Amino acid sequence: MTVNGAVAGPAWTASLNSAVLLDSVQEAFLAVDSAGLVRGINRSARELLGFDDEEICGRHIDATLRPEHDGPTAPALARLFAAAPERPVAREIRVRHRDGRKLAVRATVSVIPATDGPVACIFLTDLSGQADAEERAERNDGFLAALLDSLSVGVTACDDHGRLVVLNRAARSNLGLLPDGPIPQSGVIAAGAVLRDGCSVPLAWEQTPLARASRGEHVDETDVVVEVPGRSTRTFATTARPIHSGDHRRVGAVAVGQDVTAVRRLERFRVCQDTIDQLLSMSPPIAEVTPALLRAVADTLGWPGAELFLLDEGAGTLRSVGHWGAADEIFGHQPIYGQALTGRVWATGQPILVPDITARRDRATGYERERIEACLRNGVRTALAVPVRDGGMLLGVLTCYAAAPELHEDQLVVLLNGVASQIGAYVALRRSEQLARQLSQVQEDFVNLVGHELRTPLTSITANARMLAEDAGLLDDEHRQMVTAIDRNAAILQSIVDALLDLAHLEAGHTEVQFGDVDLAAIVTGAITVARHTAADAGVRLEADLPERLTTSGDAVRLRQVVDDVLANAITYSRAGEPVRITLTTDPTTIHLHVTDLGIGVPAGEHGRVFDRFFRGSNVRHHGIAGHGLGLSLARAIVHLHHGTISLSDNKPTGTVVCVRLPLP
């Protein structure tokens, strides 16, 4: 050692003041003899431990500092002094501060010789700051773990080598892992599960959002589909980000997965409903379209099969009209009212979801056990059936089969009810169309019967009645009245038959309309002139507001027939003393003929039927007014052939307004 260029020898070193030297040392220092008595401390020790020289020097170390280590202090000191190690011995211990709190320190002990015997020189390094930091870190780790486990979203994280370091409780559950097991290796994170992307393509670990983020990629809202054996398929919208340190080094990645199974199912059902609308838009027979329709439903659910049953009202049974799925054994059966899933929905009219079909096995009938066993053999554990309705009328049952219980059961029932409503509306429409065709055919058959089977005998009756009437002078009064009645009623029947045949020919297109230039004002005037005699007999006034001339294109004979029928209708149902008003006006494109009366009117709810064949209002029948209900039907057919419209509305305060609209050429 040199001091100012000179070599410092032992004499110079011995001249140093050891107390001053030790006080200049930053570490706490204690000198302890072989008996365990503290012989001296430096300033740093006093500051660290809170004791002054008088309180600690000369006292045993256990009486003041009470050091905590692996064993009693005295034997440990004895071994230390006996061994006299050449190198310092370091231990982490806890000592008592003067105020009673414990301090974590690192004790570095060396044994050196002294005049009064060997002394243990103990240097204490304060570890309390490090301990606090470790405690804070441990507390923060615990807080972070509790926070992550409390989240409903799945959180995963990996280090810079791609090793998983975080997998919260939700993520474990999503992947079918035990809640408290060890974190698996990255490559087997989904052991037993299958990961797919939003297009159902399997995902290897390297393709997952977390693995991509660990390579520096930012992944936004990517769908990951998780298939766990024995559980329903779930979809997670996953976002992943790389993690960087303060110096911008990539140290890992984190991924968060939000369960969007219900949202995606709703989106798929919207597409499914559009598909069903397209399938039904061409109005095919329901049996033909059912397999494609059910495939759309099963694919939307991700379920293996579905079947549609419709009620056969004639036989009183529920029969299958089609199914989709590979498990033919579970399809095509004959439901029994009130038994098994389909039969219970048939009986109750309410949707039923069975999460586990084996739950009622011990209470099942023989038929139900057969159904359960057939489903189990084909991997079906869950089933849902909903009624197919048209309003309050049960039309059938839609039954779907699944391999595992589903989440969001209420939503599932609501969505499938929507599909069943689509099917029910279509089935009801097809049945009503079929019924309408049947009714129309019955009417056509009736018209043909009247036209062909009654016309010939009526013609004969009418001719003979007129011959008898011509020879009335040869008959007495009673026989003349009988012949007159026969002639009058035969003429009425003849007019009904003629009207029926005329209407049938018009509606079938067998009668052509002869278009030409016509003066509609003149046609209406002529009809009014003829109708005045009938109106006068009924005590009804006819009031007209017509232009001098109104030329248009049409069939003059047929248009006169329309005006005659409408006027006759207004006069017939008007009260004596009341007027019937006829107006004829135009606008730039249309001719308007209005016939307004103050008669008995049309009952509420019957306006839409007044132009139907044979229809007569309920109030007409109660008043006993004669008629056959064909006049307005004929008028409508003729107006439609002229590309016009005819409508009937209420007049205020009473009566009706018939409006005929014809296009101007």
Instruction: Kindly tell me the sign of the dihedral angle through the C-alpha atoms of 391, 395, 398, 399.
Output: positive
Region of poorest pLDDT, from 16-25, 47-56, 265-274: 16-25
| pLDDT at residue 307, rounded to an integer | 95
| Angle formed by the axes of helices 477-508 and 631-641, nearest 10° | 30
Collapsed DSSP state (helix, strand, coil) of residue 293: helix
* CB 305 within 8 Å of CB 323: yes
| pLDDT at residue 473, rounded to an integer | 66
| pLDDT at residue 13, rounded to an integer | 47
* Pick from 297, 298, 301, 341: nearest CA to 318: 341
* Pick from 580, 594, 588: nearest CA to 546: 594
Region of poorest pLDDT, from 13-22, 142-151, 198-207, 234-243: 13-22
Residue 325 backbone zone (phi > 0: left; psi -120 to 50: alpha; other: beta): left
What pLDDT, in 10s, does the model give residues 165-175? 888 888 888 88
Q: Report residue 22 as tokens.
A: 């030790």
| pLDDT at residue 306, rounded to an integer | 95
As a whole number of angstroms, the distance between CA 154 and CA 177 comes to 12
| pLDDT at residue 4, rounded to an integer | 45
Q: Which fold has domain 516-663?
A: Heat Shock Protein 90 (3.30.565)
Q: Which CATH number fits domain 151-259: 3.10.20.30, 3.30.450.20, 2.60.40.1930, 3.30.43.10?
A: 3.30.450.20
Give the mean model confidence (pLDDT) for residues 445-472. 72
* Pick from 62, 109, 115: nearest CA to 84: 109
* CB 260 within 8 Å of CB 237: yes
Whether 151-259 and 2-132 are alike in CATH topology: the answer is yes
- Classify residue 653 by burial, with Cβ atoms within 10 Å: 0-12, 13-18, 19+: exposed
Give the mean model confidence (pLDDT) for residues 602-614. 70
CATH (residue range 2-132)? 3.30.450.20
* pLDDT higher at 508 or 264: 264
- Classify residue 475 by burial, with Cβ atoms within 10 Å: 0-12, 13-18, 19+: middle
* Pick from 349, 352, 328: nearest CA to 341: 352
Q: Report residue 265 as tokens.
A: 């199912």
As a whole number of angstroms, the distance between CA 287 and CA 321 comes to 5
* Average pLDDT taken over every residue of the chain: 84
Show me where the domains of the chain are located.
2-132, 151-259, 516-663
* Cα 362 off chain centre by: 35
Q: Where residue 659 falls among pLDDT bands split at 50, 70, 90?
A: very high
| pLDDT at residue 64, rounded to an integer | 85
As a whole number of angstroms, the distance between CA 240 and CA 254 comes to 6
| pLDDT at residue 16, rounded to an integer | 54
Q: Where residue 2 falls among pLDDT bands split at 50, 70, 90?
A: very low
Number of Cβ within a 10 Å radius of residue 69? 13
Give the mean model confidence (pLDDT) for residues 474-488. 77
* CB 307 within 8 Å of CB 313: no
Range ranked top by mean pLDDT from 126-135, 189-198, 331-340: 331-340
Region of poorest pLDDT, from 72-76, 169-173, 581-585, 591-595: 72-76
pTM (predicted TM-score): 0.53
Q: Report residue 500 as tokens.
A: 């029926």
Phi and psi dihedrals of 613, rounded to 5?
A: -60, 135
- Cis bond leading into 209, ω under 30°? no
DSSP code, position 452 = I
Q: Report residue 540 as tokens.
A: 């009804």
As a whole number of angstroms, the distance between CA 399 and CA 341 comes to 8
Instruction: Kindly tell me the sign of the dihedral angle through the C-alpha atoms of 339, 340, 342, 344.
Output: positive
Q: Where residue 115 falls among pLDDT bands split at 50, 70, 90?
A: confident
What pLDDT, in 10s, does the model give residues 495-551? 777 777 767 666 666 667 788 999 999 999 999 999 998 899 889 999 999 999 999
* CB 213 within 8 Å of CB 252: no
